[in-house]
Structure 1
Amino acid sequence: MAFRQRSSSSDRDGAESGYASGSSTASLPDVYFTRPHLKFVNAQLNRLEPQEVLKWCLTSFPQLYQTSAFGLTGLAIMDMVANIDFPINPDIECIFLDTLYHFPQTMDLVEKVKQRYPQLKLHIYKPQGCETTADFETKFGEKLWETDDERYDFLAKVEPAQRAYRELDVKAVLTGRRKTQGGKRGDIDIVEVDDAGLIKLNPLANWSFKQVQAYIKEHDVPTNDLLDQGYRSVGDWHSTQPVTDSEDERAGRWKGKGKTECGIHNKRSRYAMFLQEQEEQRQRELSEAISKGLNISAVGS
């Protein structure tokens, strides 16, 4: 991490030794990852097993959450966190995005996980202003994923995720992404920082599907019933299909659309940028209107 110190009189008065600590009244430096340090950290973490990576995460990041759609890797992480042998209490809460279009089997699994890990605090976020599928379709129309898939991704997944991070004041998240899942995930690191500055931690990034399966079986972790029907990566029912043994793990997601991510782990979607441009235009028009109003008032006086 690189450090940038802002000096002030309180720095001199509160830390005459030239150092500041967590209990000090002196202002602390901003802490952030530089590219060389991020590269160094990942090189070291690549030598560790996921449980050791999780221990490092617990000691390194405040406001650490897990994000999960209850896929196989996310379930393995939940079990590791619940059973980790570590003096620090791994009080990691979980964020689940209910798009309102999950398979019934996925929602059944959520209940099974609650029963298996009663200490787990689960935060469920839905599309804004919607409690049911009918609510969503009344507001945005039926089969929005077919008519405007980027808008659907933003409304059902990206915006709820952003809202969760904002409301929970999330600084870092554990994800279930792995290199062997295929698509754009082939070159992910264990530690990443996204465009918004959110730290994303992928403790099982180097594990294969078979390694995850072996862990799940050994520890009797509850799983999605759809796995027995040829599914490997399970998302919304309208955009998920079973895969063959020769296909990538996520090949059944958005099949035939040349798409492998929903937008949560991508750079901002075109729809999100469009919304920002709209807001910026609205602010410009508001500023111009206020400016004109002031000029008219000045002339009238």
Structure 2
Amino acid sequence: MGFLSRFSSSLAQVSYLFNPFASSELDMSSGAETPCGSGRSSPSLGGADSGYSSGANSESELSEVYFTKQHLRFLNRQLQFLEPQEILRWAITTLPNLYQTTAFGLTGLVQLDMLSKLKVPRPQMVDLIFLDTLHHFPETLELVDKVRERYPLVNIHVFKPAEVETAEEFKEKYGDRLWEKDDNRYDYLVKVEPAQRAYRELQAYAVLTGRRRSQGGARGSLDIIEVDEAGLLKINPMANWSFNQIQQYIKDNDVPYNALLDRGYKSVGDWHSTQPVKEGEDERAGRWKGQQKTECGIHNPRSKYAQYLMEQEKKREREALEQALQKVSLEAQS
């Protein structure tokens, strides 16, 4: 019996995670921990036989998924020893409403190619979520077209900043060069809010990311599985790979990639915050060069601006509740 088979068997002890009769409150007398996983609305599966959901063809309802801290530790210990393809196979046969978030960087492209070649009970591409910030390099948008041509079965869901369609409209609505005046707000408008909207509208339960430990910074201690504060599962199948391994896979499998990588870039984001890197520099050294910043906000949703907006929303909810209670009280007295 192979390691993946043994690992799949060992998952039986946490099989209740997808039990339709499971309660959101675990039996504390058994020593189980309080759930730290998803409290999102119930996802759908594309077929009970496969156990896999494509975001595009949901049919039946599943109960909510809960991971305790104990289960997360167990899963991360086991997944740590698997190759990316095995982690991907586990994810698509285990997790409902699974998507891949991508900016079409090298790691995400490797992951996409691996997914296209996986042999699973019900072969099906994982839908992509692409956040069009309206400030991508032309080369990035050209790459999107190449990906569509190379992988015609993949669905790409594009999400832009709310209420704008072009960079010019964004400038008119929020002012010129917002990223220089208020980068927290810019990140929230072009990345964090569209990502949250995508997860909500698509009812995403879990997402595959292209983050790796070798990228450094906050990613240096990356787990294979994470649960964010909103309950979204984030799977990092490529966490153990190096940049050289990624490059070699791209070369060996003739995977399309961003033309900017042939001009000294290693990690590509928006045109205004991305530069080529020098020999020996960190892979992401060209992102936000000269700033104490390593993430755009998608993987750090509790930015100052996001926190401010959340506090304002909670304040509005409290005020609405108080007004409703006052109205009920007045009606009861009349």
SS at match of 2:234: strand
- 1:290, distance to aligned residue in structure 2 (A): 4.5
The match for 2:248 among 214, 219, 223 is 214
Residue in structure 2 matched with residue 96 of structure 1 by the alignment: 130
Counterpart code for 1:227: L
Aligned partners of 2:97 and 2:206 also within 8 Å:
yes
State the Cα distance separating 1:90 from its structure 2 match: 3.0
The amino acid across from 1:195 in the alignment is E
| Residue 278 in structure 1 maps to residue 312 in structure 2 | yes
Amino acid at match of 1:58: I
Matched ranges for 1:66-77 at <5 A: 66-77=100-111
Residues 83/36 of structure 1: CA separation in 2 closer, same or farther (3 Å cut): same
* Native 8 Å contact 1:192 1:200 kept in 2: yes
Alignment-derived partner of residue 55 in structure 2: none
Matched, 1:154 2:188: yes
Secondary structure at the counterpart of residue 220 of structure 2: helix
1:232 and 2:260 aligned: no
Taking a change above 3 Å as real, the CA distance of residues 33 and 137 of structure 1, as seen in their structure-2 partners, is same
Q: Which runs of 5+ in 1 are unaligned?
A: 8-21
Per-residue CA deviations over 1:39-62 (Å, capped at 9, x if unaligned) read 221221121111111111111101
In structure 2, relative to structure 1, the CA distance for the partners of 1:87 and 1:286 (3 Å cut) is closer
Task: Return the match for 2:175 from 141, 151, 156.
Answer: 141
- The answer to whether 1:47 aligns with 2:47 is no
Partner in structure 2 of residue 195 of structure 1: 229
- The separation in 1 between residues aligned to 2:120 and 2:23, in whole angstroms, is 35
Which amino acid is the alignment partner of residue 148 of structure 2? Answer: K
In structure 2, distance between residues paired with 1:256 and 1:230: 18
Check if 1:176 corresponds to 2:181.
no
Measured in 2, the distance between the counterparts of 1:70 and 1:28 equals 31
- Aligned mates of 1:69, 1:28 — CA distance in 2: 30
* RMSD of aligned residue pairs (Cα, Å): 2.2
Structure 2 length-normalised TM: 0.79
| Aligned partners of 2:192 and 2:301 also within 8 Å | no
User: Could you say if the C-alpha distance between residues 31 and 163 of structure 1 is closer, same or farther in structure 2, counting changes exceeding 3 Å?
Assistant: closer
> Would you say the 8 A contact 2:131–2:191 is kept in 1?
yes
Deviation, 1:289, is 4.0
Q: Compared with structure 1, are the counterparts of its residues 249 and 283 closer, same or farther at alpha carbon in structure 2 (3 Å cutoff)?
A: same
**Count of residue correspondences:** 283
Q: Distance in 2 between matches of 1:152 and 1:139?
A: 12
**CA shift in 2, pair 1:174/1:294, >3 Å:** closer
Q: Which has the larger radius of gyration?
A: 1
Q: Distance in 2 between matches of 1:173 and 1:297?
A: 48
In the alignment, the residues of structure 2 paired with residue 103 and residue 93 of structure 1 have an alpha-carbon distance, to the nearest angstrom, of 23
What is the rounded CA distance, in whole Å, between the counterparts of 1:201 and 1:288 in structure 2?
40
* 3-state SS in 2 of match to 1:266: coil
Distance 1:107 1:5 in 2: 44
Question: Structure 2 matches for 1:242-281, cutoff 5 A?
Answer: 242-281=276-315
- Does the Cα contact within 8 Å between 1:58 and 1:88 map onto a contact in 2? no
Cα shift at 1:36: 2.2
CA apart distance, 1:199: 0.6
Q: Which runs of 5+ in 2 are unaligned?
A: 1-13, 25-47, 50-60
> In 2, distance between residues paired with 1:222 and 1:6?
45
TM-score, normalised relative to structure 1: 0.88
Percent of aligned pairs with the same residue? 59
Shift of the 119–273 alpha-carbon distance from structure 1 to 2, 3 Å rule, reads same
Cα deviation 1:224-268 (Å, max 9, x = unaligned): 000011110000001011112311111111111100001101141
1: CA distance, partners of 2:62 / 2:151 = 37
Match of 1:58 in 2: 92
Call closer, same or farther: CA 1:285–1:60 in 2, change over 3 Å: same
